[in-house]
Amino acid sequence: MLKFALEFAMAMLSVALPAQAETVGFDAARAGAPPPGWRCGSTGGGAARWTVEADAGAPSPPNVLKQSGTAAFPWCVKQGTALGDGAVEVKFKPLAGREDQAGGLVWRWKDGDTYYVARANALENNVALYYVQRGNRVTLKYVDAPVAANVWHSLRVEFRGRRIRVLLNGKIYIELDDNRIAGPGAVGVWTKADSVTVFDDFTYLPVPSRFLE
Q: Can you give the pLDDT at residue 14?
A: 38
Helix H, strand E, coil C: the string for 43-103 is EEEEECCEEEEECCCCCCCCEEEEECCEEEEEEEEECCCCECCEEEEEEEEEEECCCCCEE
Burial of 9 (0-12, 13-18, 19+ CB in 10 A): exposed
Q: With contact defined as beta carbons under 8 Å apart, do 140 and 129 qualify?
A: yes
Measure the CA–CA gap between 166 and 174, rounded to whole angstroms: 5
Q: What average pLDDT does the segment 193-198 reach?
A: 98
Measure the CA–CA gap between 120 and 33, rounded to whole angstroms: 26
Q: What average pLDDT does the segment 156-165 reach?
A: 97
pLDDT(2) > 50: no
Q: Can you give the pLDDT at residue 208?
A: 54
pLDDT band of residue 39 (cuts 50, 70, 90) is: very high
CB-based contacts of 138-146 (< 8 A; 24+ apart in sequence): 140/174, 140/176, 140/178, 141/174, 141/176, 143/173, 143/174, 145/120, 145/171, 145/173
pLDDT(13) > 60: no
Q: What average pLDDT does the segment 125-138 reach?
A: 98
| 57-105 pLDDT per residue, tens | 999 999 999 999 999 999 999 999 999 999 999 999 999 999 999 999 9
pLDDT(209) > 70: no
pLDDT(162) > 80: yes
pLDDT(9) > 80: no
pLDDT band of residue 21 (cuts 50, 70, 90) is: confident
| 169-181 pLDDT per residue, tens | 999 999 999 999 9
pLDDT band of residue 20 (cuts 50, 70, 90) is: confident
pLDDT(3) > 70: no
Q: What average pLDDT does the segment 109-113 reach?
A: 98
pLDDT band of residue 207 (cuts 50, 70, 90) is: confident
